[in-house]
Amino acid sequence: MKQDRFLLGIIIGIAVVIIAALALFFLRRNEPVYGPENTPEGVVHNYVVALQKGDYNRGLSYLASDGNKPDIIHFRQGLLNQNQNLSGYSLQIGDTQINGDSASVAVTINQSGGGPFGGSSSQLQNATLDREAGSWKISAMPFPYWSFDWYQPTAPALKPTPPG
């Protein structure tokens, strides 16, 4: 009888540990957090966080104010048209090179494989930024955090030629 109580105590203890572990697993979320915006790498980080959170207005605010900057509709549409699921990607920020009012931030983009055997790939690329009124703004980012039709000059409208 004493052994039955001891065994029951061990089983209850294991069950409590399992329930606590599952509760921590499901309640603890690694929610991306915004950081300081006074460096090029901070702006790149915050831009990616904004996209992960679906905060397109904030994401758009990190882009350079070029004459062909997309509006919010084209910005959001450019990201959604690429059928991007950013949850399959992660980004590591590397070294930053600053040359006057321009900066280049090395970023490693990791893509996890979705198959049963896993697999992943990594690419080292660069994000470019320009300083505008004392703030760093992104002028180019690698895929999947960028749509390549942004900042493209629009063709001037053709004027109809009068007959004759």
pLDDT, tens only, 22-31: 777 777 667 7
Segment 119-123 shows an average pLDDT of 80
Q: Which residue ranges form the domains of the chain, and what is each CATH number? A: 27-140 (3.10.450.50)
CA distance 16 to 18: 5
29-38, 86-95, 110-119: which has the minimum mean pLDDT?
A: 110-119
pLDDT, tens only, 30-68: 778 898 999 999 999 999 999 988 899 999 999 998 777
Backbone angles phi, psi at 156, to 5 degrees: -65, 145
Q: Residue 139 — pLDDT band, cuts 50, 70, 90? A: very high
Q: How far apart are the first and last CA of the chain?
A: 111
CA distances (Å), 105 to each of 86, 114, 151, 161, in order? 20, 28, 19, 48
Q: Indicate yes or no: pTM above 0.85.
A: no
CA distances (Å), 43 to each of 93, 123, 161, in order? 11, 20, 48
pLDDT of 117? 64
156 DSSP assignment: P
